[in-house]
Structure 1
């Protein structure tokens, strides 16, 4: 099923500020919170959908890519499964918990996720960036690419916990698993409550008494992974796709980073890209232009035959409909524009020169005024 527009999901305009985006997301999150809608799968999906929209629109770079390329620029074209679909509820609250004061109960006292008041820090892996080169043919049809990426992955010995065994993981005695410590001080204005990251566990809410020897307690090791990327048709050089959760794994569990795929376009030997259109310069001989002919021109799918009408003039453009590239937004397909040029030989035999001079005397070889005016106006336009 096609994804909804992120601005529509949050009910905001495309010109909305970051504060308006945050306000809209808080409203949707409260409306569709799972504890407020127990057992309602539709509400849960809308809750995740709102989180996915906020994840993109609250990030300046992701928002720019989305505004320019749509869903293909931020993950849907890379088979990432989307933000909301690829993360658990705990992940969503961990990443966006700051919007709700560290716990969701601040907005109505629901139970469930985050209602314990925990502000435990969840680690996030770093993003990875790779370049993928594509031919025009691959861009025209879309393509699946398999790439080998060196990255941090969860340690197989400790399953990413960083501990030698389950018994080595204990609740932090300083913050009692909350990840923060609360201090209350008396001031002339009354009592003031402040929170800070627990200095003992660094905000994780747990401590490790015995580290895993394979990863030295980090929970991640350096390795390689083969990742399959489904690139949609119509992408362009410089465009950046995103695969959620395919970046570096987080230390001792948490949220994986993203894989950012930068598209590079390999030059075609004969065709030039102009957005979704393709341009080709067709060089005709004088007899072909005068008498007409059937010629072959290249496309991304192979050669096609084109009829050249007798008396074809240089500079004429033939338009082959739907022989260009598809729009990444599914708005249609571009055209192949064939620009006519005529080859004038630089050296002629005496016999050929005499034949040309003989033809020159014919009225048919004299340009009429309308053609002269057309050439002059085109030339003047270029100068202006």
Structure 2
């Protein structure tokens, strides 16, 4: 199915899911939001002048499917058949119905030694191949729809977890996205390398050669907000990035911010040993789209302290539709299989 048709199918399904499962007054009419934006005033249910929220859904919170816990979501992607692929960081890859979010299948993923992954990033290619990043090593592997490993992409040694490299544990390939055209893949490090200034993280890219071979390409530096890490990226139709930054403060809750980022004038940092912020390196430019603490609560409740009860441990994101510079974006939270956290989906409209 063509990408436009897939997005149209999924968008229609997600709209239905919002109406069926959102808690409280969660749905904002698209025509009203578009008219408000065109008039130069914040759209209904605005989080900022650029972002509004149409609703949320907790329908999958603390559920199981065929004996597998449904949750721990770290990544989302639009599948070629219009369904939603949802990746758990416990090595499970779900197919979800776009209308109800109910699981339709689950595949167990593993490494070459049949060991579980810390699976964090997901891309579904046009032929159905799954690209999955694991932050334990880190790695990026290509899987078939049945979960069989096809190939493994090369990774620079210094991006590996210490002592093999300079990365900290659980701070590597948290984000994964494929740019329009399918030729450039990007993985985002969640945290900084040893020797780099804290808060400056690296985005590694690969270029496709032929239909299956990805080779290492340029690398870029990106500065996060203080105390936050990069948990997801999503390429936009115009070649920019949406970047999701997230942090957690005990007793306070989560901070989640959405940025637009532009790599076009950033410098290739693959040959720069230490990104100190003082060397003459042009980092990726970013523009704040919304701090999600400013979204309306929509009647949401939280099981632990949050600055906005709508917030949770959000770390999955995918673009489900676009028209005239306006994107439909779906987010999901990772509940860590924790009683005081929630598996929650968020329906955003983003204007670039």
TM bucket (normalised to shorter chain) is under 0.3
Q: Higher RCO, 1 or 2 (CA under 8 Å, sep at least 6)?
A: 2
Using structure 2 for the length normalisation, give the TM-score.
Answer: 0.23
Q: Give the number of the structure whose residues are more often helix, by fraction.
A: 1
Query: Which is higher, the Rg of structure 1 or of structure 2?
Result: 1
* Structure-1-length-normalised TM-score: 0.21
Q: Judging by fraction of residues, say which structure has more strand.
A: 2
